Structure 1
Amino acid sequence: MHIKVASYNIHKAVGLDRRRDPDRILAVLREIDADVIALQEADLRFGDRASVLPRQAIDDHSPWKAVPLRMRPDSIGWHGNALLVRREIEVIHAEPVPLPTLEPRGAVCAELSIAGKRLLVVGMHLDLSGLRRRHQLRAVLNHIANCGRTAPAVLMGDFNQWSHARGAMREVDNGWHLLTPGNSFPTRQPVAALDRIVVSSEWQCLRKGVHHSPLAARASDHLPVFAELITA
């Protein structure tokens, strides 16, 4: 299996010009052209937590579909986390993953089938608190272990982790590999690799990086990260 994955904190589709522009976010995603995408801050924080990327816009102007979580009528995710996959990818199962936190944080998990081959994908947005981040990543890994995972897995999102090896990253141990595509925050002058990708041992990483483009430079306060993976 050969796929390209990406993670993008879209900052509620508000760019550096302070304009909310969902079409601009979709244009950046089309530049990246990934098969599976994890989004963070993809909904409005209050009220019905409606998606900032209208489902109709995704359907009409992109090659992806939102992984259905059916949490709220106008939302495509949970606590701002959403997954987009190419339309030909089959969604076997999808669910939210509750995380230990005082803030409205969470993760979303989906089992997918690509040309008959299965994989597990988790998108997440971890806490600003270092101790809670570690507990949250442990909760995600425990959730996957309790599911009896047999398929290759990809975990990605805004880890809010400045250190490459300390804090929550200590939870990434046997059977998992941390990919740090590069500095992705803040957009104007990236100095922190907050956005990470973690893969199970079945994957080989062919390429990873931060997506730089004039459009991405103003669409959000984070730059998107990506990885091209193949099963070993």
Structure 2
Amino acid sequence: MVARLDRVRYAQANRSETGPGQVRIVSYNIRKAVGLDWRRDPERIVAVLAEIDADVILLQEADKRVRRREGVLPRDILCGEMGYALAEVAIRPHSHGWHGNVILVRQSFPIAETRRIDLPSAEPRGAVSATLADPRIEVIGVHLGLNAAMRRRQLAVLQAYLAQADHPVVIGGDFNEWRRGSDHVENLGTVIEPGPSFHSRVPVAHLDRFILSGALRHEGSFVHRSDLAARASDHLPVVIDVAPEKPE
């Protein structure tokens, strides 16, 4: 326990800072906390998240896919020492999220609403949403399918969902889209590709992305690279800083 907390505190002490009024969001496919060494090491994932110190965390593959579908991360550390609140989107008592999609929000950003968004899928995939009370920004975490035709159907559902939103929305996640500049993705809004995030050993593919919809400013984005992140999962985390547009 002491070693785990020391790693988290060291990482937080060396984090980069966001500017005033910004919200930092990270999206990270954690592969059920199984690293490139094939060890399940939840503490290593926690330490990577502490390095980033985001306000909102969007995780994919954070629940196991069999039996009780239990979450793989130490909730006591995330919601205790690290000060996050878990968006309540799970339908199973031992899960952290829904179809492995999890949202954590810094406790200083109260959550006004959470929901699950049904996506067509032949796999256990879907989208989860949390709307912050102030600033009023909705964040949606997604993990889209491997099949291109199914992804197009999923993106069409998300496009229809965004069309009825009366507030800014950020979608982040693993889009499983190897081709850049896809019309189906760009139809959702402003596409932000921080950089290649897969495979973490030699990143070449921009699978992890963000979509901005509504009155939001893109203040900056990057792929988080560190010694820990290079081993913790087969994806690297992607990070974006956004801020609500100021009324003219």
If the length of structure 1 is used for normalisation, what is the TM-score?
0.93
3-state SS in 1 of match to 2:133: strand
Deviation (angstroms), 1:88: 1.6
1:212 corresponding residue in structure 2: 225
Q: Is the 8 Å Cα contact of residues 26 and 62 (structure 1) preserved in structure 2?
A: no
What's the Cα RMSD here? 1.3
> Would you say 1:78 and 2:91 are equivalent positions?
no
Distance 2:92 2:80 in 1: 21
Which residue of 149, 158, 172 maps to 1:140? Answer: 158
Distance 1:99 1:91 in 2: 23
1:9-24 aligned at under 5 Å gives the runs 9-24=29-44
Equivalent residue pairs, number: 225
**Does 196-205 or 186-195 show the bigger shift?**
196-205
Q: Is the 8 Å Cα contact of residues 111 and 120 (structure 1) preserved in structure 2?
A: yes
Q: Is the 8 Å Cα contact of residues 15 and 219 (structure 1) preserved in structure 2?
A: yes
Q: Which runs of 5+ in 1 are unaligned?
A: none
Distance 1:220 1:208 in 2: 20
3-state SS in 1 of match to 2:44: helix
Per-residue CA deviation, residues 55-82 of structure 1 (Å, 9 max, x unaligned), is 2232234221211124111111100000
1:1-232 aligned at under 5 Å gives the runs 1-114=21-134, 117-145=135-163, 148-166=164-182, 168-172=184-188, 176-232=189-245
Deviation (angstroms), 1:48: 1.4
Identify the structure with the greater strand proportion.
Answer: 1
Distance 1:66 1:79 in 2: 15
Q: Is the 8 Å Cα contact of residues 119 and 151 (structure 1) preserved in structure 2?
A: yes
Deviation (angstroms), 1:36: 0.7
3-state SS in 2 of match to 1:118: coil
Q: Is the 8 Å Cα contact of residues 184 and 193 (structure 1) preserved in structure 2?
A: yes
2:9 corresponding residue in structure 1: none
3-state SS in 1 of match to 2:173: strand
Q: Structure 2 vs 1, CA of residues 80 and 105 (structure 1 numbering), >3 Å: closer, same or farther?
A: same
Q: Which runs of 5+ in 2 are unaligned?
A: 1-20
Instruction: Tell me which amino acid in the other structure corresponds to 1:209.
Output: F
**Does 11-20 or 201-210 show the bigger shift?**
201-210
Q: Is the 8 Å Cα contact of residues 161 and 167 (structure 1) preserved in structure 2?
A: no
Q: Percent identity?
A: 45
Q: Is the 8 Å Cα contact of residues 43 and 74 (structure 2) preserved in structure 1?
A: no
If the length of structure 2 is used for normalisation, what is the TM-score?
0.87
Distance 1:141 1:84 in 2: 24
Deviation (angstroms), 1:201: 3.6
Deviation (angstroms), 1:170: 4.3
Report which of the two structures shows the higher radius of gyration computed on alpha carbons: 2
Distance 2:49 2:226 in 1: 11
Per-residue CA deviation, residues 99-152 of structure 1 (Å, 9 max, x unaligned), is 1111111100111113xx21111000000111111111221222233xx42221
Deviation (angstroms), 1:50: 0.5
Distance 1:31 1:54 in 2: 16
